[in-house]
Amino acid sequence: MKLKKGLWICSLAVMSLFITSCTKKAEVKDSDKSIYEGSIQDADVFIDIPNLRQYGGYTCGTTCVQMLMNWINPYQGDLNLKGYEEELGTTEDAGTSPEQLMNYFEKNDVKAIAKEERTIKDLVSVLDKKHPMLMCIQAWGAEGYNTQDKTKTDTYLAEGHWVICAGYQKVKNDYVFYFNDPACVGYCMMNEKDLKQRWIDMDADGRIYDHYGIEIAENENIYDPQGAFYLE
């Protein structure tokens, strides 16, 4: 999937607050106020995956794969984004489909479990196993997102975006989820209510993927966020 309009947002959504665009500087009225809504230090479960940035409006899926492959094995996964784009078959018109992602994972012996109609309980269970979840959601577009009104064909499920869910925090009877979002620098977060509404997308052929997620069921990864390679 891909973003069908040119505007991306820096954060996904936190506690029902709107967030700023990645293409614009965040407006901070008070110089002492942080631009961040939270911290990964608050997470009850968090999987530290390399955070990489996409280029253009159609390489979110490609960049997510690049992040995941570098998390599994930084040496074997060390391809540039163009290399992943070619291997996956990503196009500017259609982005990257779920089928292309699963074909890639199968070809590269990555344990991946795709499923639709996933629940929040299912997502939490996957994260508890320290397995990240690749998800297609609706991003905040210039005019928000439309997951309800099918008559508005220009906006209905028109803000498709791939992200990696990497952790959660339990907050009273709710959850806050943490994401590697290839459209942003740093991590993003979204509450349970927003995620339920936005966890849906449609591919270029009109097929709808409702609460679709790909569990990356790899238990052996050698990525070390504190590690340093020798500069050769």
Question: Is the confidence at residue 104, as pLDDT, over 90?
Answer: yes
Q: What is the mean pLDDT of the chain?
A: 85
Query: Mean pLDDT, to the nearest integer, of 100-105?
Result: 98
| 40-216, CATH topology level | Cathepsin B; Chain A (3.90.70)
- Residue 28's φ and ψ, nearest 5 degrees, are -115, 105
Provide the 10 A C-beta neighbour count for residue 21: 17
Question: Is the confidence at residue 3, as pLDDT, over 80?
Answer: no
Query: Mean pLDDT, to the nearest integer, of 11-31?
Result: 39
- Residue 69's φ and ψ, nearest 5 degrees, are -70, -35
22: confidence class by pLDDT, cuts 50, 70, 90: very low
Place of tokens 């942003």: 184
Closest CA to 12 of 159, 213, 119: 159
User: Up-side HSE of residue 92: CA atoms within 13 Å toward CB?
Assistant: 3
pLDDT computed for residue 125 by the predictor? 98
What percent of the chain clears pLDDT 90, i.e. is strictly above it?
A: 58
Alpha-carbon torsion, ordered 117, 148, 165, 45, to 10 deg? -80
pLDDT in tens, 74-84: 877 678 888 99
What percent of the chain clears pLDDT 70, i.e. is strictly above it?
A: 84
CA distance 203 to 180: 21
pLDDT computed for residue 5 by the predictor? 36
Query: Mean pLDDT, to the nearest integer, of 66-75?
Result: 91
In terms of pLDDT, which residue wins out, 1 or 94?
94
